[in-house]
Amino acid sequence: MHLKQIEINTKTKTDLIDITPDIDKIIRESKIKNGICFLFTPHTTGGLTLNENADPSVRKDILMELNKNVPFEDGYHHTEGNAAAHIKTTLVGSSQILFIESGKLVLGTWQGIFFCEFDGPRRRKILVKISET
């Protein structure tokens, strides 16, 4: 298994950052033709999701609805001021499992992989483990 790490600097409080090209590069460099790609982010206020990457307005809509349903201020008990970010990460999740076939990620036509920033700006990391099958 190959373990790699991607590091990104987020620039805003909330954002969905397309990391698909970074994952594609790691898969190409691994030279693994068929396998599984495990993605994990070790943060409690940032997650990973798959969604449309053709139209950037989809990202805006996702963040708009998450912020509407889990507002930044809502009488939370967590005193650090980032309770909403923790809740959003729980809803989105911290990991993804993807297939690799013929040296490429198996994604739908419009799908991309996004790091979800809910408490930025920060320096974040995504762990990528590739296993040959």
Q: What is the pLDDT of residue 107?
A: 97
- H or E element: which one contains 49? strand 46-52
Q: What is the pLDDT of residue 121?
A: 98
Q: What is the pLDDT of residue 84?
A: 98
Q: Which two tokens stand for residue 72?
A: 């930044």
The DSSP line for 75-107 is: --S-TTS-HHHHHHHHHH-SEEEEEEETTEE--
Tokens 């809803």 belong to 91
Percentage helix, strand, coil for the chain under 3-state DSSP, each rounded to 5? 25, 40, 35
Q: What is the pLDDT of residue 1?
A: 64
- Average pLDDT for runs of 10 along the chain of length 133: 91 98 97 97 98 96 98 95 98 98 97 98 98 93
CA 123 – CA 112 distance, rounded (Å): 21
pTM score, two decimals? 0.95
- β-partners of residue 77 are none
Question: How distant, in Å, are the alpha carbons of 2, 4, 31, 118, 128 from that of 13?
Answer: 32, 26, 36, 6, 24
Q: What is the pLDDT of residue 2?
A: 73
Q: What is the pLDDT of residue 105?
A: 97
- Phi first, then psi: what are they for 46, rounded to 5°? -150, 145
- β-partners of residue 98 are 37
List domains and CATH numbers for the chain.
2-132 (2.60.120.460)
